[in-house]
Amino acid sequence: MKSDPRCAPCLLNRTLYEANLSTKDQSLIFEVMESGLEYLRDNFREGVNATNISTGIHRRAYAILGDDDPYREIKAQSNVIGKKLMPAVRKRVLGALENDRFRIAVLASIVGNNFDFGLQEHQIEIGDFESLFAEEMERGLQVDDTGDIMRLARNGRVAYLTDNCGEIYFDELVLELLKAAGAHVTLVVRGGNIVTDATMDDVRSMGLAEKVNKVLTTGSNAIGVCMRELPPETLRAMSDADVIISKGMANYEALSDERFRPIAYLLRAKCEPVSRSIGVKKGWNVARLVK
């Protein structure tokens, strides 16, 4: 996905957010913001991939802050909430009719995609997440290609690209159902700390590696997937997949202009640029298959 003019103020808002998470030093926060403005002046232009810009500005901010994980506390809190909600969500999935289970598990994982903080157009309080989760589960999917996604995944090869901490707990339910359908699942997580994204440490701490066939990384802390930094083994897993399941907006922004097909985008459309790009309304819960 190409950058939209609205990406610029959103990126500045997010760097300010993470700077305030990391430090109370106003001079350092000013330095982060000055650097962000400079980076956008030099790099932000029409036609540039959105995730390339966001990766660059976040890496600069982290370097200035001397902090490789400003979101560590929010990530930990998100995981606690995700773990707490899991038993009830699992009960709901397993209590559904067999043909509905995958759809409900996917919905839960998309509702979990709300674990995203510092966005200009998407503001939630972590303390209110449980009530938000319940409301969104009742609202359901506004785009529902889950039946077609499962048909491709059944007895096939799946590359499953994760997104946020907290959210990854609900991905577990989707992964279990994919495995039960005979899929060979390769889980792909971020290769380093960036915003609230899940890494190998999160997978290990929750025992998720035991639920899939293999766990790989994106090779770096780039926002979404940076093709230049993607390890060859991960690229092969994605290229050979019968279907790629891509969680979240960042992975959509990174991959929507690439040639991977078929690919299923599971996300909450949290901003107007992504919503317009994927052809939905802002706020929709989306499970869209692109062949």
Query: Within this chain, do residues 261 and 148 fall inside the same structural domain, yes or no?
Result: yes
Task: Mark whether 267 and 171 lie in a shared domain.
Answer: yes
Tens digit of pLDDT per residue, the chain (291 long)? 999 999 999 999 999 999 999 999 999 999 999 999 999 999 999 999 999 999 999 999 999 999 999 999 999 988 988 898 888 889 889 999 999 999 999 999 999 887 765 444 445 555 566 777 778 888 999 999 999 999 999 999 999 999 999 999 999 999 999 999 999 999 999 999 999 999 999 999 999 999 999 999 999 999 999 999 999 999 999 999 999 999 999 999 999 999 999 999 999 999 999 999 999 999 999 999 999
Is the residue at 1 inside a domain?
A: no
Q: Which of 65, 99, 114 is a domain's end point?
A: 65
Whether residue 2 lies inside any domain: the answer is no
Handedness of CA 277, 103, 208, 186 (dihedral sign): negative
Of the three residues 65, 94, 109, the one that is the final residue of a domain is: 65
- Measured N-to-C along each axis, helices 50-65 and 7-22 cross at an angle, to the nearest 10 degrees, of 20
Give yes or no: residues 27 and 109 share one domain.
no
Q: Is 47 exposed, middle or buried (0-12, 13-18, 19+ CB in 10 A)?
A: exposed
Within-domain flag for 164: yes
Q: What is the CATH number of the domain that holds 174?
A: 3.40.50.10880
How many structural domains comprise the chain? 2
In a domain, 35, yes or no: yes
**Parent domain of 132:** 72-290
Domain match, 56 and 76 both: no
The pLDDT value recorded for residue 122 is: 44
Same-domain status, 177 and 282: yes
What's the pLDDT score for residue 290?
A: 98
Could you tell me if residue 199 is inside a domain? Answer: yes
Claim to verify: residue 145 and residue 223 sit in the same structural domain: yes
pTM of the predicted model as reported, rounded to 2 decimal places: 0.94
Q: Give me the residues paired with residue 160 across strands.
A: 187, 245
Verify that 145 and 40 share a domain, yes or no: no
Q: What is the largest CA-CA distance in the chain?
A: 57
What is the pLDDT, as a whole number, of residue 67? 98
The reply to whether 225 and 197 lie within a common domain is yes
270 found inside a domain? yes
88 and 181 assigned to the same domain = yes
What is the DSSP track for 29-70?
A: HHHHHHHHHHHHHHH--TT-BHHHHHHHHHHHHHHHHT-S-T
Task: Note the pLDDT of residue 227.
Answer: 96
Q: What is the CATH number of the domain that holds 22?
A: 1.10.8.380
Q: What pLDDT does residue 133 have?
A: 77
Sign of CA dihedral 169, 71, 64, 224: positive
Same domain, 178 and 45: no
Domain final residue pick, 37, 65, 93: 65
Structural domain contains residue 187? yes
- Residue length, the chain? 291
- On whether both 15 and 158 belong to a single domain, the answer is no
Radius of gyration of the chain (CA): 18
Residues 257 and 135 occupy one common structural domain: yes
